[in-house]
Amino acid sequence: MVNLYNGYSYTFIQFCFKNILNDDRTQLSILCFCPALIIVSISSIFKGVFYGYQKVLEPAIIDVLEKAIRILSIYLLIQVLKGYDINIKSAAAYLALSIGELTSLILLFICFINFKHQNPPTGKSDNSLQLLFNLLKLSIPLALNGILSTMFSSIIAILIPKRLHIAGLPYEESISMLGKLQGMAMNVVFFPAIIISSLSTLLIPSISEEIAFKNYKILNHRINTTIKFAMAVAFASCAILLNSSKEISMFIYKDSSVGNLIYYLSIGLPIVYFEILTFSILNGLGKQFNLLINSIFVSLIDITLIYFLMAIPQINIYGYCINFAISGATGAIINLTCIYKTLKGFNFDFYKNIIIPLLIGVLVYIIGSILVKLLPVQMFILICYLIYASVFILTQKLSFSK
């Protein structure tokens, strides 16, 4: 199997750098990246076991260690390879990735053996064929979704500079705007989404468990609670970014032009965060096929809006910001429709999940518009999050007391 993998890997590498990338220098980088493909796949299986049992401490600690080892590895490799060409240094970065992932796999395997020893299997499992069928039923739509998402992302990355060029921007500036959008502004806007991602990871096995035991009342409560906290993060982040987009841009990138992109993207941020959560809920409900169809539909909307809006000179790059909100809203609506059809007794608490977090966000925005002129950006962000959290906790206590 290893020899077969090595043969296919080498053939694939030769095809990539000769026919796709047209750059011989990428050969070594792709070769160093190949081990990570297998390692990450195996690691995901072990992580899935822990997430399935809603045990997040072990994967979280291992992820932190893996990132630390990756950073240390790349630092040491770059120091050792100082005098070498850029293709060697680039390969070193991918080698550091593989080293970090291998460390993660070893630690996960040790934790899994320990977990298995403490929790011996009980009961009778399905036969191998049934297990394989169940696995493929879930994994094929998810795999297709991942492949198509990558394909659509690539199409969008190619489309953006071309449409900006049609709008009147020089091609070099169009490429620069793409980098500022996807490599800088989007990173800032999606940084708080780490919390949403963590909530989603916990929510999926929790939903599956409650569905299996038909605990629909508890399921309804968990979904609403998760949405409520996710919207709190979203509206708090939105209020902060609307007030301090240029300050954050100057602090991180020393480039005020990125601040305009952050500002307009942050308007659609709560919508997109809500959409992300609804995709996770569908996944937990076992609606992987619906998830696939909805993802394709949203991606087609992305491509259509970007194609038309970005070619308008008055809109240009901000067409992406408009699409960011519209496609997010579309995805959230069709996902929510599927959730309602699947969970007949589902009761979405619009007032507690949306209105209260929104009103607190408006309050923080008003206070923040004063504080941003008085405080350094780091202190401003911290204080605004603390104000939002304090008011949010107070409203929760008042609602519980009632």
Per-residue pLDDT at 211:
81
Strands (E), 73-131: none
The model carries a pTM of 0.82
Per-residue pLDDT at 26:
66
Residue 275's nearest CA partner among 313, 217, 329, 204 is 329
Torsion angle defined by CA atoms of residues 151, 155, 156 and 157, in that order, rounded to the nearest 10 degrees: 100
Residue 345's nearest CA partner among 203, 211, 220 is 220
In the chain the first and final C-alpha atoms are separated, in Å, by 63
Per-residue pLDDT at 6:
45
- Using an 8 Å Cβ cutoff, are 299 and 356 in contact? no
C-alpha–C-alpha distance, residues 261 and 178, integer Å: 11
Torsion angle defined by CA atoms of residues 202, 205, 206 and 207, in that order, rounded to the nearest 10 degrees: 120
- Using an 8 Å Cβ cutoff, are 331 and 275 in contact? yes
- The structural domains of the chain, with segments of one domain joined by +, span 1-118, 155-402
Pull the structure tokens for residue 136.
């493929």
Per-residue pLDDT at 142:
81
Pull the structure tokens for residue 256.
């005020």
Per-residue pLDDT at 67:
86
Map 243-308 to HEC letters. Answer: HHHHHHHHHHHCCCHHHHHHHHHHHCHHHHHHHHHHHHHHHHCCCHHHHHHHHHHHHHHHHHHHHH
- Using an 8 Å Cβ cutoff, are 43 and 111 in contact? no
| Residue-level pLDDT, tens digit, the chain, 402 residues | 444 444 445 565 556 555 555 556 667 777 777 788 788 888 888 888 888 787 878 888 888 888 889 889 888 888 888 877 777 877 888 888 889 889 999 999 999 999 888 877 766 666 777 777 877 877 888 888 888 888 898 899 889 999 999 998 898 899 899 989 988 999 999 988 888 888 787 788 888 778 877 888 888 888 999 999 999 999 999 999 999 999 999 999 988 889 999 999 999 999 999 999 999 899 888 888 999 999 999 999 999 999 999 999 999 899 999 999 999 999 999 999 999 988 877 888 899 999 999 999 999 999 999 999 999 999 999 999 999 999 999 998 887 665
Q: Which amino acid is at 193?
A: A
Residue 46's nearest CA partner among 118, 107, 100 is 107
How far is Cα of residue 7 from the mean position of the Cα atoms in its chain? 33
Pull the structure tokens for residue 388.
């939002």
Per-residue pLDDT at 55:
81
Residue where the block lists tokens 């395997």: 109
The length of the chain in residues reads 402
Per-residue pLDDT at 269:
95
Name every residue whose Cβ is closer than 8 Å to that of residue 16 and which is 6 or more positions away in sequence: 26, 30
| Residue 186: Cβ-neighbour burial (10 angstroms; 0-12, 13-18, 19+) | middle
Residue where the block lists tokens 């999606």: 190
Residue where the block lists tokens 């060029």: 165
- Using an 8 Å Cβ cutoff, are 268 and 194 in contact? no
C-alpha–C-alpha distance, residues 101 and 106, integer Å: 9
- Residue 229 is given by DSSP the state H
C-alpha–C-alpha distance, residues 26 and 17, integer Å: 6
